[in-house]
Structure 1
Amino acid sequence: MLKRSDLSRLNFIRLQSKSLFKTLISFKPNQTPVIVVMDAINPTILKTTIEAIPVLTEENFLTWKTRITALFKLGGLKDQILTGEPALEDVENSILCAVIIAKLSTTTHKNVVNSTNEEDTQLLWKNILKRFISNEPSNRTRVYNSFASITFDSSNIKKFITKDGEDINPKALIDHLEIHLNELKVSNGEKDESLESAMFTKEDLQCKDGAHNPYATSHRRENCWFVYPEKREEYLKKTYGSNTKPKKD
């Protein structure tokens, strides 16, 4: 066990040499040593976590954010980075800065890294969020331009399908068409009834050419001769015989 007299002769003591995040004890003379938090992480778990982080591009921010945040949480530094305070220890800051920058594509690096934040994890993180999830006009314009530049490729339909509930086959297609047709019928029926209601009053019970009077009490719309003139012909033929010609109104 190191004594205070031994610590006073050193600036940093490096322990656990096999760990990716080395255990560092930082101190100044006559002060209590400060142990770097991230150094207690199991090196195998740490290595797996870092390798699972994809390179950040313009298309995969949500996945990247989930993976990199898992690394922050693993080291017990998530709140510090997300809130920006308190400041990170120098060693933790240097290590996380190196990891984040290593996980940026060339294009993303040019857009988020600058001379102010290249050595400050918390500032770098804030600039990345500003680039990908802020509501600033410049960011909305960038997203719109990316969307507008998408061109449809008929030879690669799967690329443009975001959700596939079931395989497309003739039966499924016909079923969907029937559902759509029924919805149109219902929609058109409601429009017709609304139009008919506007054409008549409760005092006027007579139907008119092509329109059923919804206030009529002698018959329903489906039996209205003004809407379905063929039903009138069927009725007259059935009543007076097939040679009887219906009278014209």
Structure 2
Amino acid sequence: MLKTALETIPQLKEENYSIWRDKITALLKLRGVLRALENVSVHLGEMIDAELLMVILLKMDSVTHNNVVMAKNRDSVQKLWISIKEQFASSQSSNRARISNEFL
């Protein structure tokens, strides 16, 4: 089931964050790690951190990787998760539409 779920998750790109987020979140819930991932005060453990880091990095295209993965977050899936959410929160179409309307 995990292999099938992984195969259905697209590579994260600028234009598909919402779909990617929904699918990766469902996978993380299935694995029982979403809440821990989103709470940086929770220590995930080295094996879980490495597994989740691998999954997220594998599901990210090279352009997104270059824009999101930095020295400060490349070794912590929790920090990487926060960086992804911050990067794409401002680029969501609803946010772009709202910002565009403010300038009209």
Report the TM range for the smaller structure's normalisation.
0.7 to 0.9
Of residues 10, 14, 26 in structure 2, which corresponds to 1:70?
Answer: 26
Q: Deviations over 1:204-236 (max 9, x none)?
A: xxxxxxxxxxxxxxxxxxxxxxxxxxxxxxxxx
**More helix by percentage:** 2
Partner of 2:73: 117
Of residues 76, 80, 84 in structure 2, which corresponds to 1:128?
Answer: 84
Q: CA RMSD in A?
A: 1.9
Instruction: Report whether the alignment pairs 1:49 with 2:5.
Output: yes
Instruction: Report whether the alignment pairs 1:58 with 2:14.
Output: yes
Larger Rg: 1
CA–CA distance in 1 between the matches of 2:28 and 2:9? 12
- Unaligned stretches of 5+ residues in structure 2: none
- Unaligned stretches of 5+ residues in structure 1: 1-44, 148-249
CA–CA distance in 2 between the matches of 1:98 and 1:122? 12
The alignment of Structure 1 onto Structure 2 pairs a total of residues equal to: 95
Q: Which structure has the higher relative contact order (CA within 8 Å, separation 6+)?
A: 2
Alignment of 1:193-204 (within 5 A): none
Of residues 34, 41, 61 in structure 2, which corresponds to 1:105?
Answer: 61
- With normalisation by structure 1, the TM-score equals 0.36
Partner of 2:36: 80
Partner of 1:89: 45
Deviating more after overlay: 121-130 vs 76-85: 76-85
- Residue identity over aligned pairs, in percent, reads 37
**More strand by percentage:** 1
Q: Deviations over 1:16-43 (max 9, x none)?
A: xxxxxxxxxxxxxxxxxxxxxxxxxxxx
- Is the partner of 1:60 in helix, strand or coil? helix
> Which amino acid in 2 is paired with 1:85?
S
